[in-house]
Every structure is written in structure tokens, then in C-alpha cells.
Amino acid sequence: MKDLETEVQHFEPIELNSHNRPLTFPIYQSAKFEQDTFENFQAPQEGDYFYSRVSNPTVRQLEVLLAKLQGREDALAFASGVSSLAIPFLALLKAGDHVIFFAECYGPTRYLVRNFLEKFGVTHTLLFYDQANDLKKHLKPNTKLVHFESPTNPALVIPDISKITAIARAANVLTLMDNTLAGFHQHGEFEVDLFAHSLTKYASGHGDVMGGVIIGNKDLINRIRPVAINVGSTLDPHTSYLISRGMKTYFVRYRAQCASALEMAKYLRNHPKVQKVVYPGLEDHPSFALAKKQMKESGSIVFFDLAPEVDQAQFFNRLRYFRLAGSLGSTESLIVPCKKLFGPDLSEDELVRAQLNDTTMRVSIGLETVKDLIQDLELALM
Ligand SMILES: *Cc1c(COP(=O)(O)O)cnc(C)c1O
């Protein structure tokens, strides 16, 4: 007979009959995986799990799903979207290498390249997307990586993906595309080497958990894996479960939000107190033809400028449904003034070229009815 103190450490788990399974995948909430014999411990088999920082079945399930959606062989999930950039940078670059990236990118990416990579002796060239066609001119013999986004966050610039990848491939330079705004079902047909996504956005979908993923073919993911394991920005199984759960409604949410975003963009375009509206699905987007060719769906973000006479404090404080918060891809609609959030590190010149003014706004459309959302803006702009 075991003592009760021992019993609580070693009680019998419930085993299901082999013909009887749960409908949803279990959460393997365990940091460690044991082997049943000494012999198996000495010679683990392929597919065995050992330690959740290395791999965990619940996390693995999500990685396999996301690789499949993006049309690549493998993926590694992380605890946040920025890790899906920082860890590949660490894994693929070394002192003396050079990277090219674009000023209109997500702000923390600029920090990673300008501060973090610089510190480790990796130099960079910062371009604007209107220079993307001349990318070749900016490649150096030691250029190893080009980082880009489409659409960019927040200004929704649409660069020509196949032009960028063709120039990079011809020079044997890797491309890493932050595909967060387009989503997992888009851009897979392009010759992009690695796709990064923040899972905090459309994958989780409910604004409650954070995650990130890097997706690519096996050889590249295998180069990143040892760094990922040893840096340890590990996505935990419970969060992985919630993100996998979010993925079940990914297409329904994404499409509903796209449809509302287009309606919203059209409404804003005709509003006298709105000056410029950017949405890839709107014919007057500067790269509408390219956006149409590259994207099946245009996303849930609308970027616009309020007229300078709008009292912004009054505008924001009157909003009832649009929440004043960063991030995107939630079920609630969100709005943020862009300059302070996205450009604190940019010079005045760079801010102008990146289209970030004092009046610039980004909205992320949620799942409210578009009628209520339009009315919310209508009343706030009265
Ligand atoms: C949010 C975001 C990230 C970073 O993701 P986190 O989950 O916040 O770390 C990276 N790139 C883009 C384009 C994003 O929108």
C-alpha cells in the first residue's frame, strides 16, 4: 500500500479504450516526456518526445497545420511574432553579413535589424518600397537576407513579391517575408524562402494569446531549429491549443472581416472628414492591380488620414465599438493613431516617406456588423 503522499505523485491516469477518442486534440500539458524503459531512454525512437522546449505534440500539431496552409514543408512556433523574426535572424546570419529591409516595416523589426543585428556585426541597408525595383543595385557580395512584408503594417504598401524573390534568388540571397497581414492562405505560390507570422493576430483570432511561427522548407527550418531550442522562446502547449482552436474559424473570420473592411474603406473614402483611404481591395490603392494579382483577399486593415480639423480626443472618446488598442485580427474592431505607435524611431523625413502623419489611423475590422461600425465612426466624426 502506497502512502497518500506518494499516491498524489503517482496516481493512475485514465486511459481511453482504443476505439474511443476525444473529438478535439488533447493538450499535452507536460514539460517532460518519459521513456518506459532504460533501453528506450538510451536509444529514443524517431517521433519520441523528450522535453517541451525541444518539441511538444500539441505545439507540433499547430506547426504541421500552419506549414500545410502556407504550402511549405515545416514550421517552428514561438511564444510571440517577434521571435519568428529574431530567431531566424540569429540562426541564419553571422558577423560580417549584410541584410536589406524596408523602412515601412513593422516597427519592432526595425529595432531588431538596427539595434540587435548591428550589435552582432550584421550590417544593413534600409530601403523604402519605392526602391524595391532597384533591389539588385543594393545587393552586396555579403548580402544574405532580404526581409519584406506585403501588405505592410500599417501603411498597406504592396510590393511586387515575385520581383523581390527573383532578384534575391538570382543572387543566392534568402528572402524572409512577414506575411502576418495577408494570412496563412496567401502568397504561398511565390518563391519566398521563409514566411514569418504573428499568431497573436489572425491565428489566435480572439486577442487573448500571443504566438509566432516561421514556415519554410525542411532544410531551412532545420537550420533554425537548434537556435530555437537553445534560445527558448517556446510556445506552450496550452497556448498552442488555443491557437489551433482559433484556426478552426480562421477562414470564416478572415473572410467576414475582409468583406466588412472593404465596406468600411468605401464608406471612409466618401467621408468629408477623411482625407486618404488605403485598402488593397479599393481600386484607388496605389498598387491595386498588383494587389489583385497577388492576393485572393485584401485583409481586415484599413489605413486612412483624418482631416486636420478633426478633434482627435473627441473622436476617440466618442467611439463605442472601435477599441483604442494596437494589434489586429481580433473579433473586436480596433483603432490606433499610427505615428506614435509605429514610428517613434523614424526621423521626420522617414515618417513622411512611410506615410505616418499626426492624422494617420489604422483600423482592424472585427466581427461586429459593418452597419454598427460605420455608425460608430459616423457619430464620432460628427
Ligand atoms: C504583430 C506583428 C508582429 C509581431 O508579433 P507579436 O506577436 O506582437 O510579437 C510582427 N509583424 C507584424 C506585421 C505584426 O503585425
**Max alpha carbon distance in the chain (Å)?**
81
Query: Which residues of the chain have a pLDDT value below 50?
Result: none
DSSP state of 343: -
Indicate whether residue 151 lines ligand 1 (CB < 6 A).
Answer: no
pLDDT of residue 1: 86
**Distance in angstroms (rounded) separating the CA atoms of residues 22 and 32:** 22
Q: What are 136-162's pLDDT values in tens digits?
A: 999 999 999 999 999 999 999 999 999
pLDDT of the residue at 109: 96
Reduced to 3 DSSP states, what percent helix, strand and coil does the chain have, rounded to the nearest 5? Answer: 40, 15, 45
Q: What confidence score (pLDDT) does residue 42 get?
A: 97
pLDDT at 169: 98
pLDDT digits (tens, 9 = 90+) for 312-336: 999 999 999 999 999 999 999 999 9
Q: Which of 82, 150, 156, 243 to mutate to test the pocket of ligand 1 (most atoms within 8 A of CB)?
A: 82
CA 101 to chain centre: 16
153 CA distance to ligand 1 centroid (A)?
9
Cell of 81: 511574432
Integer Cα distance of 308 and 310 in angstroms: 6
Q: Whose grid coordinates read 506614435?
A: 340
Q: Which atom of ligand 1 is nearest to the CA of 210?
A: 7
200 lines ligand 1 (CB under 6 A): yes
Q: What's the pTM?
A: 0.97
Per-residue model confidence as pLDDT tens digits over 175-228? 999 999 999 999 999 999 999 999 999 999 999 999 999 999 999 999 999 999
Q: What is the DSSP letter of 192?
A: -
Span from the CA of 382 to the centroid of ligand 1 (angstroms): 33
Distance 80 CA to ligand 1 centre (A): 8
User: Ligand 1 pocket: which of 87, 153, 336 to mutate (most atoms <8 Å of CB)?
Assistant: 153
State the cell numbers at 380. Answer: 464620432
Ligand 1 pocket check for 81: Cβ under 6 Å? yes
Tell me if 148 CB under 6 Å of ligand 1: no
Strand (E) or helix (H) holding 92: helix 83-92
Q: What is the DSSP string of 133-152?
A: GGHHHH--TTEEEEEEESS-
